[in-house]
Structure 1
Amino acid sequence: MTAAAFRYIDRASYDPNATEPFKKALGQIEDLRGQESHYTTDNSGFALYNSPAKETAFTDDAEVRSGYYAEVEELLRKKLPGVKKVAIFDHTIRRRTPGSARSPVQLVHVDQTPRAAEARVRRHLPEDEVEELLKGRYQIINVWRPIENPASDFPLALIDWRSIAPSDFVKVDLLYPKEWRENGEVAPDSESMFSTEGYEVKGETYAIAPNEGHRFFYAKDMTPEEVMFIKCFDSRSHTMTEGKTDIAHGSGHTAFIDPQTPAGSPGRQSIEVRCLVFYE
């Protein structure tokens, strides 16, 4: 067990035109170690597995796409019964190292709203397959793995879906900078921290509002030989018209500063592969 200050959406000051309408709230984080089998993508929205990868460096984007993507698809088919099709649409590598373009995200969120998930299907699947695929069950799952060293620094925390209230979800635009430099994004030139100047809308996501009932979990010192399935959407979840009450939509998640991290621990490095998963 550890504790942290989590960065949440602040309903009281939320403005769709703001980039920093956030607040911090303290929370406890339970270690998944020893109880992994009790938490699945169906009931909690996340699942931890031991699954060493052939790819270990993750420095060549072409090799990640040609080799590691196949490993991820094989793992999804192995762990999730009934999968008929997997479409991997992108990945992000985060390194908390000097000069890195992508650092760990400290904001409690769920990556996809229902509208955004459907848009992903329409964007990434052949047009002649889309309508039939949308009739069946489909999910968006991020397959998250530490790179090079254990994720002791800025570890990943996840909320058990069953502890999130419907009122905790706030739809927000997913913003990306209009310009990028080699070592990172170009920050908006603005006098106000609340300005969206310099960004453009690339989708829709759920930010999460604070709730004392949230149950956070993490895998302490998660290693590169392990992966976390993070569900971001499920067309059969109870949030959907024909969904089931016992199926999670997804898991709110965030990076956090763990006060128990030993001094001198190497900066966190990780890869998350985003996958559309379709079922029979």
Structure 2
Amino acid sequence: MTTSNFRYIDRDSYVDSDVAFVKPWGKVDGPGYSFKLSDHERAVEDIRGQESKFSTDTSGFAVYEYPAQEKAFTDESKVREEYYAEVEAVLRKKLPGIKKVVIFDHTIRRREKASPRQPVQQVHVDQTPGAAEVRVRRHLPADEAEELLKGRYQIINVWRPIANPASDYPLAVIDWRTTKPADFVKIDLLYPKREATNGTNGTNGTHDDDDRGKEVAPDPNSASSTVGYEVKGETYAVAPSDDHKFYYMKDMTPEEVMFIKCFDSFSQVNGGKKGLADCTPHTAFVDPQTPADAPGRQSIEVRCLVFYE
């Protein structure tokens, strides 16, 4: 057990969208958001040795030992062509009844100055229910999407440390059973606009709609500006609650993966099975037990649409 400060959205720092139709926003590449964060000290329990007590159906997250063939994650083509297959394999092995997996995004985070994506110190959920449905329609043919939306589908973030244990800035998750719907605040997710690419005849522009692995370093001087950005998603920020119970896998290794559920169409919140977890709030945090000479955290997260029979 350890304690740390966790950064939540400050409810007093934004206008309630249900009242004034003004919605908070945040940038996918950070820094930059239209709200403030507040620090709250919380206890964090290490789940190592008690992993079997948690699952994506009950708590919203799970940790498994599952070494990857890919180690460096520096070759974009190898990540997409080889590691994606490993991610699908572990999903199918650990979650019964999967019919189809569509991997639509991945992010590599390295806590070093040159890295465009750093560990995120804010309690959040990657997708809202509305954003999950948009993802299905965006990444699948229209007829197939309509059919798959009739059944159970999830968004699962498959998270893994790279190169060394994630002792520095480890990932903490909140047990879904300790949350309530009022804790979640919808946030517009802004992406940098991309230039249109020329078509085969060199004149017809085609919008680059593939976000996988295309992170660029943000401009720290324009954090408060939305110029050059567009809304391409919706996430949940999370408001503080004394009921929240935080967990982490201390010194989680590259041989281990964490499933972080972002959405489940059959969850209790979405009118499905009572007690079935909907999502998992999560965040990087500073563990005071981490040695000062621990290597900077590196990790990869792969976001997957998971459809069931």
What interval of TM-score do these two structures reach, taking the shorter chain for normalisation? over 0.9
Alpha-carbon distance between aligned partners in 2 of 1:274 and 1:244, rounded to the nearest angstrom: 24
Q: Which amino acid aligns with 1:73?
A: E
- Native 8 Å contact 1:147 1:224 kept in 2: yes
Q: Residue 219 of structure 2 aligns with which residue?
A: 186
- Native 8 Å contact 1:179 1:185 kept in 2: no
Q: Residue 144 of structure 1 aligns with which residue?
A: 159
Q: Between Structure 1 and Structure 2, how many residues are aligned?
A: 276
Question: What are the superposed Cα offsets for residues 22-65 of structure 1, whole Å, 9 maximum, x if unpaired?
Answer: 21111110001111001000000100000000000100010000
Say whether 1:10 aligns with 2:10: yes
User: Following superposition of structure 1 onto structure 2, how do residues 114-125 of structure 1 map, counting pairs within 5 Å?
Assistant: 114-125=129-140
User: Following superposition of structure 1 onto structure 2, how do residues 255-266 of structure 1 map, counting pairs within 5 Å?
Assistant: 255-266=284-295
**Secondary structure of the corresponding residue to residue 184 of structure 1:** coil
Alpha-carbon distance between aligned partners in 2 of 1:178 and 1:106, rounded to the nearest angstrom: 24
Of the three residues 268, 272, 276, the one matched with 1:247 is 276
Alpha-carbon distance between aligned partners in 1 of 2:125 and 2:299, rounded to the nearest angstrom: 18
Q: Which amino acid aligns with 2:303?
A: R
Q: Residue 30 of structure 2 aligns with which residue?
A: none
Alpha-carbon distance between aligned partners in 1 of 2:41 and 2:226, rounded to the nearest angstrom: 28
**1:188, distance to aligned residue in structure 2 (A):** 5.1
Alpha-carbon distance between aligned partners in 2 of 1:139 and 1:182, rounded to the nearest angstrom: 24
RMSD: 1.8
Say whether 1:237 aligns with 2:267: yes
Say whether 1:54 aligns with 2:84: no
User: Following superposition of structure 1 onto structure 2, how do residues 109-188 of structure 1 map, counting pairs within 5 Å?
Assistant: 109-178=124-193, 184-187=217-220
- Native 8 Å contact 1:5 1:26 kept in 2: yes
- Native 8 Å contact 1:177 1:187 kept in 2: no
Q: Which amino acid aligns with 1:224?
A: P
**1:138, distance to aligned residue in structure 2 (A):** 0.2
Gaps of 5+ in 1: none
Alpha-carbon distance between aligned partners in 2 of 1:176 and 1:259, rounded to the nearest angstrom: 33
Q: Residue 302 of structure 2 aligns with which residue?
A: 273
- Native 8 Å contact 1:39 1:46 kept in 2: yes
Gaps of 5+ in 2: 16-22, 26-32, 196-213
Cα 1:183–1:235 change in 2 (3 A) is: closer
Question: What are the superposed Cα offsets for residues 189-234 of structure 1, whole Å, 9 maximum, x if unpaired?
Answer: 3xxx655455432210111000011000000000000000000000
- Native 8 Å contact 1:179 1:186 kept in 2: no
Question: What are the superposed Cα offsets for residues 66-117 of structure 1, whole Å, 9 maximum, x if unpaired?
Answer: 0000011011000001001001111100000121111001110111111000
Task: Using the aligned pairs only, state the percent identity.
Answer: 67
Alpha-carbon distance between aligned partners in 1 of 2:300 and 2:145, rounded to the nearest angstrom: 28
